[in-house]
Amino acid sequence: MRRKVVAMPLIPGQLHRNRIRRYDLDHARFSRATWQWWCDRHGIEFLVLDRPLGGSDHALMPPTFQRWLAPEHIISERGEDTVVAIVDADTMVRWDTPDFLEDARGFSAVKAINATWIFESIGAFQPLFPDVSLPWWQYFNAGLVVLGAAQLRVLRASRARPRRRSAESATRQPQLP
Q: What does the pLDDT look like over 47-56, one tens digit per residue?
A: 998 887 777 6
Q: Is the pLDDT of residue 23 over 90?
A: no
Distance CA 52, CA 94 (A): 28
Confidence at residue 167, expressed as pLDDT on a 0 to 100 scale: 44
Percent of the chain with pLDDT over 70: 78
- Of the pLDDT bands very low, low, confident and very high (cuts 50, 70, 90), residue 170 is very low
Confidence at residue 79, expressed as pLDDT on a 0 to 100 scale: 94
Q: Which option is the CATH number for 4-172: 3.30.450.20, 1.10.260.40, 3.60.21.10, 3.90.550.10?
A: 3.90.550.10
Distance CA 149, CA 106 (A): 8
Please give the average per-residue pLDDT across 143-162, as a whole number: 80
Q: Is the pLDDT of residue 172 over 50?
A: no
**pLDDT digit string, tens, across residues 101-138:** 988 877 777 776 778 877 887 787 778 778 877 777 77
Distance CA 150, CA 168 (A): 31
Q: What are the sequence ranges of the domains in the chain?
A: 4-172
Q: Is the pLDDT of residue 3 over 90?
A: yes
Please give the average per-residue pLDDT across 135-158, as a whole number: 82
Please give the average per-residue pLDDT across 158-173, as a whole number: 51
**pLDDT digit string, tens, across residues 51-87:** 877 776 766 677 777 888 899 999 999 999 999 999 9
**Residues shown for the chain:** 177
Distance CA 114, CA 111 (A): 10
